[in-house]
């Protein structure tokens, strides 16, 4: 199969969807790997590093037109919509429940779109979201601590405190992968950490692995309101897979928060879990509402591409190999986890939460495949 690797053109996105190590694996399996010129530069991989693996470096037009399977990191942006086409399988982060123009562009193009973030195992884990969640979670307290500094407009508080001065309070809403990793780093910085979770099972697990070093509280509207009043840094880390994030933090709650406190809404790629959140970029990562600094960068791992690119290829490669070896239809028929990743096929939305988010018709994947629209 012709497997393409497109260069990311989203602002401040330096990751690439395949490392030279991954390219070599595909070449050794007999596939032709087409890498867009300069695609790896931001992650410190020169074109020659790919060429040495047997991959071919090509132009942007060639990578989109010659590939049968195209690998990307982030969703196509408007400038790329005209390149989407029937016969192409796109494998990337899509977050289409939060992006109606993109969903419509995917539907109208006839492309097969498989979203990294909705590939889901039978045990309900999200293997392709996990490493980026680990990274975003670990970055969140770092970003929050920086913006709490006075010159950045923050309260002017050191999260860890010092001997004789109390540490800052970090409230993490959602104790999944982002939440756990954020808590670990916040603890490492010396902060006092509370995690609000909805799942009792998950809380039991967190209690075991964090051995009493964090406060674990059942998440409810009232509890969020009360915890926020005390917080110096709030980290939004909830997820309802494939759906828009629930708006758990209201403007009224923000009014009750300390001035100059910081909200890092990691869930922004699913629309954000605060009423007042809107996506920002690494160029202008923050804005202030009701005296609370909002950090809402939708591609946080893009800030550390050397780590992120490797972590991403580690988990995507087995799926890429399956699609390349069997073709997208047979690959999704063989693997229910990959099948759950299919968001759009032949003009139909095959992921229910995405269809619901935009009021579009939902077609179960099997029906879409049987209809021969793929």
Q: Which residues bind ligand NAD (CB under 6 A)?
A: 129, 132-133, 136, 173-179, 196-199, 202, 219, 237-240, 245-246, 248, 266-270, 298-301
Shortest Cβ distance from residue 139 to ligand NAD (Å)? 8
Q: Nearer Cβ to ligand NAD, position 167 or 175?
A: 175
Q: Which of 358, 325, 318 is nearest to 69 (CA)?
A: 325
Query: Residue 211, class by beta-carbon neighbours within 10 Å (0-12 exposed, 13-18 middle, 19+ buried)?
Result: exposed
Q: Nearer Cβ to ligand NAD, position 194 or 363?
A: 194
Angle between helices 200-210 and 177-188 (to 10 degrees): 30
18 CA to centre of own chain: 17
How many angstroms separate the CA atoms of 211 and 204, rounded?
A: 10
DSSP bridge partners of 169: 192
Q: Which of 288, 287, 319, 313 is nearest to 301 (CA)?
A: 313
Shortest Cβ distance from residue 365 to ligand NAD (Å)? 22
Contact 226, 202 (CB under 8 A): no
Shortest Cβ distance from residue 211 to ligand NAD (Å)? 19
Q: Quick one: tokens of 348?
A: 């139909």
Backbone angles phi, psi at 98, to 5 degrees: -100, 10
Give, as one character, the DSSP assignment of residue 280: B
Active site residue 95: yes
Contact 270, 277 (CB under 8 A): no
Shortest Cβ distance from residue 142 to ligand NAD (Å)? 13
Shortest Cβ distance from residue 73 to ligand NAD (Å)? 11
| Catalytic site residue from 265, 269, 294, 335 | 269
How many angstroms separate the CA atoms of 321 and 324, rounded?
A: 5
| Catalytic site residue from 95, 232, 265, 335 | 95
Contact 114, 338 (CB under 8 A): yes
Shortest Cβ distance from residue 357 to ligand NAD (Å)? 13
Q: Which residue is nearest to ligand NAD (CB)?
A: 176
Contact 147, 286 (CB under 8 A): yes
Rg from Cα positions in the chain: 21
Q: Nearer Cβ to ligand NAD, position 299 or 363?
A: 299
Q: Quick one: tokens of 214?
A: 């964090």
Q: C-alpha angle with apex 109: 105 to 115, nearest 5 degrees?
A: 65
Give, as one character, the DSSP assignment of residue 79: G
Shortest Cβ distance from residue 10 to ligand NAD (Å)? 12
Q: Nearer Cβ to ligand NAD, position 84 or 126?
A: 126
Q: Nearer Cβ to ligand NAD, position 280 or 288?
A: 280
Q: Nearer Cβ to ligand NAD, position 5 or 216?
A: 216
Q: Nearer Cβ to ligand NAD, position 46 or 218?
A: 218
Query: Residue 208, class by beta-carbon neighbours within 10 Å (0-12 exposed, 13-18 middle, 19+ buried)?
Result: exposed
Provide the annotated active-site residues: 95, 269
């Amino acid at each position: 199969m012709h497997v393409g690797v497109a260069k990311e053109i989203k602002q401040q996105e330096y990751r690439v969807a395949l490392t030279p190590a991954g390219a070599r694996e595909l070449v050794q399996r007999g596939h032709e790997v087409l890498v867009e010129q300069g695609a790896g530069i931001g992650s410190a991989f020169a074109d020659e590093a790919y060429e040495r693996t047997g991959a071919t470096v090509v132009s942007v037009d060639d990578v989109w037109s010659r590939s049968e399977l195209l690998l990307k990191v982030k969703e196509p942006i408007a400038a790329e919509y005209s390149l989407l086409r029937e016969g192409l399988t796109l494998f990337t982060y899509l977050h289409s429940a939060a992006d109606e123009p993109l969903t419509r562009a995917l539907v109208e193009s006839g492309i097969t779109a498989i979203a990294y973030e909705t590939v889901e195992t039978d045990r309900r884990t999200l293997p392709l979201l996990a490493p980026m969640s680990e990274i975003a979670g670990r970055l969140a307290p770092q970003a929050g601590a920086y913006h709490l500094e006075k010159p950045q407009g923050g309260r002017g508080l050191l999260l860890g405190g010092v001997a004789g001065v109390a540490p800052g309070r970090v409230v993490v809403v959602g104790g999944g992968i982002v939440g756990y990793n954020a808590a670990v780093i916040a603890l490492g910085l010396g902060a006092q950490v509370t995690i609000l979770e909805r799942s009792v099972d998950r809380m039991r697990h967190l209690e075991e692995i964090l051995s009493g070093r964090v406060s674990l509280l059942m998440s409810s509207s009232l509890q969020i309101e009360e915890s926020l009043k005390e917080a110096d840094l709030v980290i939004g880390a909830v997820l309802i897979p494939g759906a828009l994030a629930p708006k758990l933090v209201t403007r009224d709650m923000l009014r009750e928060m300390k001035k100059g406190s910081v909200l890092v809404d990691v869930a922004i790629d699913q629309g954000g879990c605060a009423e007042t959140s809107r996506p920002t970029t690494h160029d202008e990562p923050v804005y202030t509402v009701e005296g609370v600094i909002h950090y809402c960068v939708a591609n946080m791992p893009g800030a550390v591409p050397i780590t992120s690119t490797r972590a991403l290829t580690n988990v995507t490669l087995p799926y890429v190999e399956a699609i390349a070896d069997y073709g997208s239809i047979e690959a999704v028929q063989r693997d229910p986890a990959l099948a759950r990743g299919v968001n759009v096929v032949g003009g139909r939305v095959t992921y229910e939460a995405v269809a619901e988010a935009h009021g579009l018709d939902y077609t179960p994947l099997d029906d879409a495949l049987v209809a021969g629209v793929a």
